[in-house]
Amino acid sequence: MKMIEDYKGKRVLVLGAGKSGTHAAELLQQLGATVVLNDAKPSDQLPEISELQDRGIKTITGRQTADILNEHFDLMVKNPGIPYDNEVVARAVREKMPIITEVELAAKITDAEIIGVTGSNGKTTTVTMITKILNEQRSKGHAYAVGNIGISATETAMKATADDTLVMELSSFMLLGIQKLHPRVAVLTNIFSNHLDYHKTRQNYVNAKMRITMNQTPDDFFVVNFDSDEWRQLSKRSKAKVVPFARSSEIDHGAYEKNGKLYYNDEFIMNASDIKVPGRQNVENALAAIATAKSLGKSNLAITNVLETFTGVRHRLQFVLEADDRKFYNDSKATDIEATQVALEGFDQPIVLLAGGLDRGYTFDKMIPQFKKHVKAAVLFGQTANLLEDALKKAGIQDITKVANLDEAVPVAYRYSKPGDIVLLSPANASWDQFKTFEERGDEFIKDVEKLTRQQEAQ
């Protein structure tokens, strides 16, 4: 890692004591900063901070109020999920204090090459595909998946060498806090209307996403989904070499699908049907990974070795098991309408859908075409059960049951299913009405499916 002087002698407030915050605090102290770590949770809910306190890092816990800034600070390193209307952040903005996120720190100190991936959907799967491909037939160093995927970028950056690659999953929240982060390859998977409660307007959200390419030069690559005219137009903002990918649009270069085959610049790579993970969205993710890998000089064999064996990321259209000729899939990461639409379109078999969750104030009528074409029955739970039921009835679905929770939903879904069907958890909603995270929701689904199938086998 580079022992940069940027933070030596500076006073830095780290806001949020999650993994990224604690690793950022450790790094800043190593770089000579005086660090204060703040979290709204009380200290007894933050076991990770005791080691920081032993290192001499001051902690303020149990509150997150603007008076924390009565002490002088030169910089704030903000947890990406803390909004800008938080009173501490809002005061820092008013006082023109620089605010960055942890990925900016990682970018400044790492010797490794950086690949950045952003988008509304498909980020984690694309990051994982790219990382695995870059590690195929690699003679020196290692590629690491970091960032929004759940692995601290600073922790990895402190250990990485110039022979390594950091493949960063970058959320819009993270990208608002970058200054000099410079990816060799930046990837935009897609942009829908997400996180408007945080960004306030769609244009703000789009602008945040596009920050991924703001420091790129003509020597770099910007890999962009060309299946939307909006995204094509956005690519013109970049100074980097644009490398398009497309599943449903005709393009004359880049990575694309044609007649069920995947190509890169007219070179055949593989059959789309040979991609191990199901769904059209995973063809798009694979095309983004192919465009990235080929831009970096990886071989077709490295690409196919991964894409023909990779079975998916946990909670992202993850195959759980097959029982009684029914396949169960966990797509708990589908926290918005678009993700569930894509999941439904990924199957040709009849689907028993499990859906529902936090009510964010929108209806589900835009899903009616997918409901009509793909869903045979639905089991609904959570705050949006009634709203989903309305849309499903408009689509002509007769077999609908509302239940209190996911535990009750799985046995009902099984009773609706027949041999050859897909039983799919793809909620189209955030999980926070009944679960702390979408991961917790997906884990619960897996446990319920395993319990159900054990009971079936015992009969």
Q: Which residues are annotated as a binding site?
A: 119-125
Which of 379, 387, 341 minimizes the C-alpha distance to 361? 387
Give me 349's structure tokens. Answer: 């078999």
Distance CA 424, CA 442 (A): 11
Q: Which residues are annotated as a binding site for ATP?
A: 119-125
Spatial contact of 77 and 14, defined as CB atoms under 8 Å apart? yes
Distance CA 438, CA 444 (A): 10
Question: For the chain, what is the HEC assignment?
Answer: CCCCCCCCCCEEEEECCCHHHHHHHHHHHHCCCEEEEEECCCHHHCCCHHHHHHCCCEEEECCCCHHHHHCCCCEEEECCCCCCCCHHHHHHHHCCCCEECHHHHHHHHCCCEEEEEECCCCHHHHHHHHHHHHHCCCCCCCEEEEECCCECHHHHHHHCCCCCEEEEECCHHHHCCCCCCCCCEEEECCCCCCCHHHHCCHHHHHHHHHHHHCCCCCCCEEEEECCCHHHHHHHCCCCCEEEEEECCCCCCCCEEEECCEEEECCEEEEEHHHCCCCCHHHHHHHHHHHHHHHHCCCCHHHHHHHHCCCCCECCECEEEEEECCEEEEECCCCCCHHHHHHHHHCCCCCEEEEECCCCCCCCCHHHHHHHHHHEEEEEECCCCHHHHHHHHHHCCCCEEEECCCHHHHHHHHHHHCCCCCEEEECCCCCCCCCCCCHHHHHHHHHHHHHHHHHHHHHC
Give me 7's structure tokens. Answer: 């933070």
